[in-house]
Structure 1
Amino acid sequence: MVCRKLFHLLTLLPLLPFVLAHKEPKTEQEIETQRALQRAAYYCAPAVAEFTAARKRRFAQKVLGTNNVQSALPGYEDLFADGTFVDGSAQDADQKQLMECSPVRESHMQNNTCVLTPVVTEGPYYHKEGHPIRTNIAEYQIGLLTYLDIGVIDVNTCKPLPNVLVDIWQANATGHYAGHPDPLPELRDEKPQVGGKRSGLLSAFPRTKFEETWLRGAWPTDENGVVQFTTIFPGYYTGRATHIHTKVFTSWEPLPNGTFRSPSSSSSSPSSSSSSSSSSPSSRGLAHVGQFFFQDSLNLQIDKMWPYSTNPIKHTHGRTRNWRDSLNIFEDSHGPEGEYDPVFRMELLGGVITQGLGGFITMGINASADLDNWWKG
């Protein structure tokens, strides 16, 4: 696909060194720069639809198995062991037959366009150091098995981006983040904010368990610009819609302990840092900050399942619906014109929901962006 009008739209993007992901654009130049990025990604929508559809077809083929016989729910290695998608012209008759009987719903994919950046805050629970490089982030957390298939494209070219590091982190089934189990002692009886943009929120819980890493991890995209994670469906906490956080790094440094550091979070400059992605489109580090969401109807069904049903605020403050998300994060994730979709498209892994879910989404990012890696609140 040829992306037209991109040159004109993207000429504004390199002009500003600020980080729109962490604050609202206020000046006319900031607002126009953000809109230019989002309009540019809009022109990539057909490429994104094709990109996502091919991945879902490949996934469906693996779930269904060969000869239209599914003897058992496939494991992680069965689903994600090799390439993430294949070109339709390379499929044989058996594969085409599998596609015809698969549960893939193409109409859903057409609306799953770009999750754009910069748009929203990273939140207070990101660990600037210590996120493991791994694809299975669940550890021993209990919850509904969830596979995430995340594609990354560059809005400058509408092409998939290989070898960029996708970093994600999320709450567990009862709404807690690794390392942050309790509020400050003096805030144990704090009540959620009433009214205003921060409605429903509590003060951030401090990090007190530095050894905890569950539901945190990062992995580079493959040659097709795709990365997959094994996790559990996230739980909810007061004031926020159910979500998963993400960052994308175009340059990073692996550490001996199995974690990574980005140039923008280290004391050294990007030009002097050792990078594991020398062939990536940029050596600047952080290129994306965003959040993913899920359909409210799905959230409500999973609320009935254990251990989600044991969420401590279920019968007090309760779940925050997408449309009431504090700080307008869910709304902001759709872009100024509301043209973009930050919601995972989910598929059943088995015959019933309790066997797990697979989620698909594609991010459109500006690979030449240069964002600093710290939270501004």
Structure 2
Amino acid sequence: MHILLSTLLLLSSYVSAHKEPKTPQEVEAQRALQAAAYHCAPAVAEFTLQRQRIFAQKVLAGRPSLPGYDDLFAEGAYLDENESGGTNQKLLSCVPVKETKIQNNTCVLTPVVTEGPYYHTQGHPIRQNIAELEPGLLLLLDIGVIDVETCKPLPNVLVDIWHANATGYYAGHPVPAPKLVNEQPQVGGKRAGLLSAFPRTDFEETFLRGAWPTDANGVAQFTTIYPGYYTGRATHIHAKVFPDWETLPNGTFKSHRMVHVGQFFFDDATNMKIDRMHPYTDNPIADTRGRTRNWRDSLNIFEDSLGPEKEYNPVFDLQFLGGVISQGLVGYITMAVNASADYPNYWSG
């Protein structure tokens, strides 16, 4: 492992942020980084399984109604019974997640996946509930962060996320530039299906944007809605991780060091079921261009998120909050990051 990490640190200097690896050195750097994260796979699997088990206990342990957000995401929820002062009594001796397939459910370790054009530097509020008044399917996110150098959870790092609303728009970017109102999507090539990015014309909107620090157990949780889609892109959520930050007077933050930027995805089968739910049916391209599947994601972003050896899984592990999908979902994912990295916090196009 020490040899691997030395290789990781030597090669990481070849990898520039926000672009796919192209040269042999860059590809080799990605493989070394991937191997380091893969070494943490058992820890990641147990980390995720423990969080799922606690959630299942809270939902099913003699409670006839769905627990509230505070119940699901209570302080200390991911400590074991002894640490949390419990009685060691197992509320459930068997839960469905006990048979969950063990997998390396991490996103790509280094920021080879584009940030995209819709990030608002010093404009994301520090908050857990980012939904505001946006309608859509309830989605709770449980995002774990692990240090690839130690395979241990990282407490007190800021997880910053943002995504489109149910009809495919980002806060602050409601309309295309006037000269591009009639623009048609790119035909063919890596940019197939894409339009030019909509400019930021509303500087007050903040829906579906926010950041929150991981707790003592390396977990950050958010309340949001299931994202919509727009032309050329598979359904996704953007994420960054900052090890230190400064809170600004308006409740947002700024940071001078970033250790990860990437994108999370959802499985196509779930996406297509949600397409038939309101307000997702109001997506303006639902009956024309339609959604882009993961495997056709423009710029190869989904494919790049799988890593050079296709051993990563950037797709949320989703479970029902209630008995049916319309009651909402909880999504689990764990990021393995290099806590000593330092990447530029801007979109390079």
TM-score normalised to structure 1 length: 0.88
> Are residue 23 (structure 1) and residue 19 (structure 2) matched?
yes
**Which residue does the alignment assign to 1:194?**
187
What one-letter code is carried by the residue in structure 2 that aligns with 1:60?
A: A
**Which residue does the alignment assign to 1:117?**
109
SS for the counterpart of 1:211 is coil
> Does structure 1 retain, via aligned residues, the 8 Å contact 2:109–2:260?
yes
SS for the counterpart of 1:132 is coil
State the 1:310 CA deviation.
0.8
CA distance in 2, matches of 1:320, 1:352: 25
> Are residue 292 (structure 1) and residue 285 (structure 2) matched?
no
TM-score normalised to structure 2 length: 0.95
> Does structure 2 retain, via aligned residues, the 8 Å contact 1:133–1:217?
yes
The partner residue of 1:47 within 40, 43, 50 is: 43
CA-based RMSD: 1.6
What one-letter code is carried by the residue in structure 2 that aligns with 1:56?
A: Q
The partner residue of 2:297 within 325, 330, 349 is: 325
State the 1:97 CA deviation.
4.2
The partner residue of 2:3 within 8, 15, 34 is: 8
> Does structure 1 retain, via aligned residues, the 8 Å contact 2:173–2:198?
yes
**Which residue does the alignment assign to 1:58?**
54
> Does structure 1 retain, via aligned residues, the 8 Å contact 2:53–2:98?
no
> Are residue 236 (structure 1) and residue 232 (structure 2) matched?
no
> Does structure 2 retain, via aligned residues, the 8 Å contact 1:170–1:177?
yes
Higher mean alpha-carbon deviation, 298-307 vs 72-81, is at 72-81
CA distance in 2, matches of 1:17, 1:8: 17
Higher mean alpha-carbon deviation, 71-80 vs 193-202, is at 71-80
> Are residue 179 (structure 1) and residue 172 (structure 2) matched?
yes
Flag the 1:245–1:319 CA change in 2: closer, same or farther, 3 A: same
CA distance in 2, matches of 1:105, 1:216: 33
> Are residue 163 (structure 1) and residue 156 (structure 2) matched?
yes
State the 1:18 CA deviation.
6.0
What one-letter code is carried by the residue in structure 2 that aligns with 1:40?
A: A
Flag the 1:133–1:18 CA change in 2: closer, same or farther, 3 A: farther
What one-letter code is carried by the residue in structure 1 that aligns with 2:6?
A: T
State the 1:20 CA deviation.
3.6
The partner residue of 2:143 within 141, 144, 150 is: 150
SS for the counterpart of 2:100 is helix
Identity %: 68
> Where do residues 299-318 of structure 1 align in structure 2 (5 Å cutoff)?
299-318=271-290
How many residues end up aligned between the 2 structures? 345
The partner residue of 1:32 within 24, 28, 49 is: 28
The partner residue of 2:205 within 182, 187, 212 is: 212
SS for the counterpart of 2:125 is coil
What one-letter code is carried by the residue in structure 1 that aligns with 2:335?
A: M
Deviations 1:161-184, CA, capped at 9 Å, x for gaps: 111100000000000000000000
> Does structure 2 retain, via aligned residues, the 8 Å contact 1:112–1:343?
no
Q: Which residues of structure 2 form unaligned runs of 5+?
A: none
What one-letter code is carried by the residue in structure 1 that aligns with 2:237?
A: I
> Are residue 98 (structure 1) and residue 110 (structure 2) matched?
no
State the 1:77 CA deviation.
1.2
> Does structure 2 retain, via aligned residues, the 8 Å contact 1:22–1:376?
yes
Q: Which residues of structure 1 form unaligned runs of 5+?
A: 1-5, 264-284
CA distance in 2, matches of 1:125, 1:97: 44
**Which residue does the alignment assign to 1:276?**
none
CA distance in 1, matches of 2:177, 2:281: 25
State the 1:89 CA deviation.
7.1
> Does structure 2 retain, via aligned residues, the 8 Å contact 1:146–1:233?
yes
CA distance in 1, matches of 2:78, 2:20: 37
The partner residue of 1:132 within 111, 116, 125 is: 125
What one-letter code is carried by the residue in structure 1 that aligns with 2:149?
A: N
CA distance in 1, matches of 2:317, 2:234: 16
What one-letter code is carried by the residue in structure 2 that aligns with 1:307?
A: P
What one-letter code is carried by the residue in structure 1 that aligns with 2:294?
A: N
State the 1:149 CA deviation.
0.3
SS for the counterpart of 2:259 is strand
> Does structure 2 retain, via aligned residues, the 8 Å contact 1:57–1:99?
no
